[in-house]
Structure 1
């Protein structure tokens, strides 16, 4: 895909579309189960793709904002991943099976020592600005309310 994405004879819009259609699905495979603790690495990956597509060297002193303006786009990768996670989370919460227990972390047993890993529900409640995780879990029961919460979070672009 390098020859297509870096070809200056193809419009930037078409090259961006090829990036969205062929590269991003591979990059985001399985993202529904990720806990995003290092958001900056995903943002850096997105910027790396755009810089390669525009043939901007990493040594060139161009800010990320300038690169985004040249590509006529904004940062969308984190927002897309969060939306997919929220959609999957709502699906799992409505099923009320074993996946529900695993996702919410309500299994019996001891937790390991040290700092605990961030749970998927914690990351989503922060993104959705739901306050408490129980509010987010209750919102998943009503599909219309849940979809509205996701749409509002995507609009805010957080």
Structure 2
């Protein structure tokens, strides 16, 4: 990191550009628990850069532990905030429920699903997404916890099933197809096949590829090969949608 930053700084100075040390942050992703407490001392022109545990890049939050939990929690909070700001619409009895549902998917769900194509989710994260979806439906229907209505009853009134988590998984598959067919970069192949460090003891963390492989039932080589063909990959995505009992067209919205 020091060597790369030094080269960038020198190239910038030759072009008349300077790196702002106060605005430049360093996030260390440790290879093991033993090195998690080690903070790198990286400097720009003798000015030490601030070490952080997380930072926001292109709207998504990156953390030093390599998980997406903080980003998912932030997205859920933003979606709930948008839901609350539309209370006048949800209270309006003259607006039919199907139209309210379309407004929910158009105005609220994009906040929730931004960047979801790259999420690596744990069981707890998946539960939070499902819980947030039920919160949206109950808010739309003006259902209070005092009404003692089950989730199944709420979904029946909405005329839909629990699909938000499935949409996240489907968008991930579609993103892989687009990334693999991009002839200008082999980034996806590097992410799938690359290894940055030797794994330590204990149960390994759930990887992005593990979730993709589980959703498709395919191994790495098959995913890389089949995703090159748009027609074949589209069929795999549709079959995954059918297995999850969701409409594949919803994943594109």
Fold conserved between structures, TM > 0.5: yes
Q: Provide the residue aligned with 1:66 in structure 2.
A: 153
Q: Which has the larger radius of gyration?
A: 2
Contact 1:5–1:18 (Cα < 8 Å) also in 2 = no
Aligned CA distance change for structure 1 residues 124 and 11 (closer, same or farther; 3 Å): same
Count of paired positions: 157
Partner of 1:54: 141
Determine which structure has the larger strand proportion and give its number.
2
The alpha-carbon deviation at position 112 of structure 1 amounts to 5.0
Query: Taking structure 2 as the reference length, what is the TM-score of the superposition?
Result: 0.57
**Structure 1 counterpart of 2:119:** 34
Alignment gaps of 5+ in structure 2 = 1-85, 246-253
Task: Tell me, yes or no, if structure 1 residue 81 matches structure 2 residue 181.
Answer: no
- What is the match of residue 25 of structure 2? none
Alpha-carbon deviations, 1:63-116, whole Å to 9, x = none? 111100111111121222112111111222233735224431513433355433
TM-score normalised by length of structure 1: 0.88
In the TM superposition, 1:76-155 aligns within 5 A as 76-95=163-182, 97-111=185-199, 113-130=201-218, 132-155=219-242
Q: List runs of 5+ in structure 1 lacking aligned partners.
A: none
3-state DSSP class of the match of 2:174?
helix
Q: Which structure's relative contact order is higher, taking Cα pairs within 8 Å and 6+ residues apart?
A: 1
Q: Shift of the alpha carbon at 1:47?
A: 0.5
Shift in CA distance, 7/129, structure 1 to aligned 2, threshold 3 Å: farther
- Does structure 2 conserve the Cα–Cα contact (< 8 Å) formed by 1:43 and 1:77? yes
How far apart, in 2, do the equivalents of 1:80 and 1:144 lie? Answer: 20
Deviations 1:39-63 (A, max 9, x none): 1211111010001111111233211
Q: Separation in 1 of the partners of 2:193 and 2:146?
A: 45
Aligned CA distance change for structure 1 residues 146 and 117 (closer, same or farther; 3 Å): same
The structure richer in helix per residue is: 1
Q: CA RMSD in A?
A: 2.0
Residues 5, 53 of structure 1: 8 Å contact kept? yes
**1:12 counterpart residue number:** 97
Distance 2:241 2:106 in 1: 20
